[in-house]
Structure formats: structure tokens, C-alpha cells
């Protein structure tokens, strides 16, 4: 069998060699607890604070506006719950707005806030390409709206949202904005001054950092209560012993992404466009997501009458790693909520496929992937 091909970089990325090198000293030599006052603890604390400054430099914010978490999901949970409850306790309102195509880290959190904590919730639709309409955002706002959460770029279909415009609408009405940038930060500008969001969530494993660490940007003055209680870590906003080597790795990875963004994205687009041009020639196939406003490395499709899970298994047997949408959905026999939100009927929605390229991807791999997908889909008809 030829060498296997990994085209699932939207699910996770390998740790970059330079990132791993930056992390290694903090597993053994500089292993101290950053809460300790001795030299080992102080050295660990210095590493965390330098990492905080490095991430803040990429985001163009103050270091004390960065909260380290265990992953992007925790960052989303902390942002939504922390701000929603704080706003309600301050008497500012009880109404939240999000969209139908959010990652479950946001959507399930918002639904839980509605069903178990008494918040009102509006879930906005999207157009056929997965973009939120600004007119729908404005129409959904009420006098008691306190928080709007819209993801920067969708993990399943790659569509990029107009976050700066949404944030401007919210700011004019004194409404807090949160954006899940976990998928976007590997390729898009995450400058929070330009985006305008009050909160922005990151997860390191999406941009060649380690799994198990994330961050939440919280604009100074944004009210928030901690979701975890215990010690006074992260200035009292997130309790728990800091994962020093992973935090160091996350900062190193994000700096590298910012340095390489222009060059990497140009190559990603070239490879992505080859996939899109070839695979949309398959009978009964359609591109999902926006044809223009989409992540540079992201291609996604639906094939009518195809079982997406069976397709993934057949591709895996051919040595091709892909996804039917979110990695969190693999094995789910029901259509993706994101795909159905685009308006696809079940016979189309069940046949979703996501192929995402990364730094190690070659043109030869893309060409072979085209051949494999075309042949496998044709054999399933």
C-alpha cells in the first residue's frame, strides 16, 4: 500500500518540531509549580508570563487579558457562562444570541444556559453558504440582550464570518461579543483590535501546538465569573495548576503561525483549490461552505446518496485520513447539524466529506487523494 495521506488538519495538527523543542525543558529541568515561591516555581512562573506576553503580542492585547485554559472547548465554556451569568447578576439582561452552525462547545453551552439556568436564547440561521446575515443579528437584538457569540470560521465547512461587523453592531448597543476562533487562528488574523470581539477562544492543537491547552482573550472590563473555583490562578478567573510546558508550547506555536501565515496560506489555497476543482466534478457532488469566504486550507463537500461514515471507512482502508465534518461527530449516523443548517436534505447531508491540508501536505498527496476519493465515491453509487 502507498504511504498513508493525512488530510484532516482541521481535526488536529502535529506538534511542530520547534514547538516541541521549546516545551521540553519544562517537563524536567524547569518542572516547578508556578504557584511556588522558590526558584523552581519562579522559573515556571516566568515562562508562563513570557508566554502570556507572546500570545498577547499576536492578538494585539494586554497580557493580563489572556486566560490560559485546558483547551478551546473550556475557553468557549468559560467565556459564555462566565460573561452571561455576570451580566445577569449585574442586572444587564438575560438574553443570548448565537448561531445554528456553532461548535458544540458554544451551542450546547448556550442551550444548557437556556434549559437549566433560565436564560433566553436566540439561535440565528445562516445562508446557503453558512454565513450569518448581519440583518438577522440586528433583528434578534432585544433590550435585554447581553451576549452574542458567533464563531470566526466554521470547522466543518470552513466559512468565515463577518466578526468585525457583528462586533460593531453589538458594541453600539453595549452588548458583549464572543467568538470561537479555535479553527480560525491557524490561518486568519486574530488581532482582537481589528476583530473587535470582547472574548476570543483559542486551542493550541489546531495550530501545530500540543493538545490539552487553550486560551481565552477577555477584553479588560468585560464582566466574568469563574467557571472553576479553587485557587487564585489566572488572576482568580480560572482555578487549576498551570500546565507550564503546554502553555509554553502554545505560545511558541502561535508565534510561528503568525510568522508563517502569508506563505503557508498561499500554499494552502493552491492545494485546496485543486481539491475543490477536481472533486466538484464528481456526479452528484457539491461544495459546502462559502466559495470565497472560507479558510485557506479547507475543502468540504456533500455527495448525494452516499453514507458519509462508510465513505470515511473506505477512504481509511485506502490510506486516506479525512472527516465527515467535525472530528467530534465521527461515528454519528445522523446528518451534521451544520450541513442541515445550510438547507441540504437528508440524502445530501448524510454524505459529507471534509479534506483539509496542512504544512506537510504535498501536491502528490493531493493528486492521489483526488484519485482515491473519485474512485471510492464512484464505487459507492
List active site positions: 328
Residue 92's alpha-carbon distances to 62, 114, 138, 155, 242, in angstroms, are 26, 16, 18, 32, 33
3-state SS assignment for residue 135: helix
The region that residue 61 occupies, defined by phi over 0 for left and psi between -120 and 50 for alpha, beta otherwise, is: beta
Mutual angle of helices 363-380 and 244-279, in 10-degree steps: 60
Query: How many C-beta atoms lie closer than 10 Å to residue 162's C-beta?
Result: 17
Question: N- to C-terminal Cα distance for the chain?
Answer: 24
Cell 501536505 belongs to residue? 361
Distance CA 330, CA 327 (A): 5
Residue 5's alpha-carbon distances to 205, 213, 294, 358, 368, in angstroms, are 19, 26, 23, 11, 9
Give the H or E element holding residue 355: strand 352-356
Distance CA 103, CA 111 (A): 12
Residue 258's alpha-carbon distances to 18, 185, 222, 343, in angstroms, are 14, 9, 26, 35
Mutual angle of helices 244-279 and 39-59, in 10-degree steps: 30
Pairing between β-strand 5-6 and β-strand 320-321 as defined by DSSP bridges? parallel
Burial of 274 (0-12, 13-18, 19+ CB in 10 A): middle
Burial of 85 (0-12, 13-18, 19+ CB in 10 A): middle
Report how far Cα 41 is from the mean position of its chain's Cα atoms.
32
| Contact between 128 and 343 (Cβ < 8 Å) | yes
Amino acid at each position: 500500500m502507498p504511504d498513508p495521506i493525512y488530510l484532516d488538519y482541521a481535526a488536529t495538527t502535529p506538534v511542530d518540531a520547534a514547538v516541541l523543542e521549546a516545551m521540553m525543558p519544562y517537563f524536567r529541568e524547569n518542572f516547578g509549580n508556578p504557584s511556588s515561591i522558590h526558584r523552581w516555581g519562579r522559573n515556571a512562573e516566568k515562562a508562563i508570563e513570557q508566554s502570556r506576553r507572546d500570545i498577547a503580542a499576536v492578538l494585539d492585547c494586554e497580557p493580563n487579558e489572556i486566560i490560559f485554559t485546558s483547551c478551546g472547548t473550556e475557553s468557549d465554556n468559560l467565556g459564555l457562562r462566565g460573561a452571561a451569568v455576570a451580566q445577569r447578576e449585574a442586572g444587564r439582561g438575560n438574553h443570548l444570541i448565537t448561531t445554528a452552525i456553532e461548535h458544540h462547545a458554544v451551542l450546547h453551552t448556550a442551550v444548557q444556559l437556556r434549559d437549566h439556568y433560565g436564560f433566553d436564547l436566540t439561535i440565528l440561521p445562516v445562508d446557503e453558504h453558512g454565513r450569518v446575515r448581519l440583518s438577522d443579528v440586528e433583528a434578534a437584538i432585544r433590550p435585554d440582550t447581553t451576549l452574542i457569540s458567533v464563531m470566526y470560521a466554521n470547522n466543518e465547512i470552513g466559512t468565515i464570518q463577518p466578526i468585525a461587523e457583528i462586533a460593531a453592531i453589538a458594541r453600539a448597543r453595549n452588548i458583549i461579543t464572543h467568538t470561537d476562533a479555535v479553527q480560525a487562528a491557524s490561518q486568519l488574523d486574530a488581532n482582537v483590535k481589528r476583530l473587535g470581539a470582547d472574548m476570543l477562544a483559542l486551542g493550541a492543537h489546531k495550530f501545530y501546538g500540543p493538545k490539552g491547552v487553550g486560551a481565552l482573550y477577555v477584553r479588560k472590563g468585560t464582566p466574568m465569573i469563574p467557571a472553576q473555583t479553587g485557587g487564585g490562578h489566572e488572576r482568580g478567573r480560572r482555578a487549576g495548576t498551570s500546565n507550564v510546558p503546554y502553555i509554553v508550547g502554545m505560545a511558541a506555536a502561535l508565534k510561528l503561525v503568525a510568522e508563517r501565515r502569508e506563505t503557508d496560506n498561499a500554499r494552502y489555497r493552491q492545494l485546496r483549490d485543486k481539491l475543490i476543482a477536481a472533486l466538484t466534478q464528481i456526479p452528484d457532488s457539491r461544495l459546502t461552505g462559502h466559495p470565497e469566504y472560507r479558510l485557506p486550507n479547507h475543502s468540504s463537500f456533500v455527495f448525494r446518496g452516499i453514507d458519509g461514515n462508510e465513505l470515511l471507512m473506505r477512504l481509511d482502508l485506502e490510506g486516506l485520513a479525512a472527516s465527515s465534518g467535525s472530528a467530534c461527530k465521527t461515528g454519528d449516523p445522523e446528518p451534521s447539524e451544520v450541513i442541515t443548517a445550510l438547507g441540504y436534505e437528508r440524502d445530501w447531508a448524510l454524505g459529507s466529506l471534509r479534506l483539509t491540508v496542512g504544512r506537510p501536505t504535498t501536491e502528490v498527496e493531493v493528486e492521489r487523494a483526488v484519485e482515491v476519493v473519485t474512485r471510492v465515491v464512484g464505487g459507492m453509487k
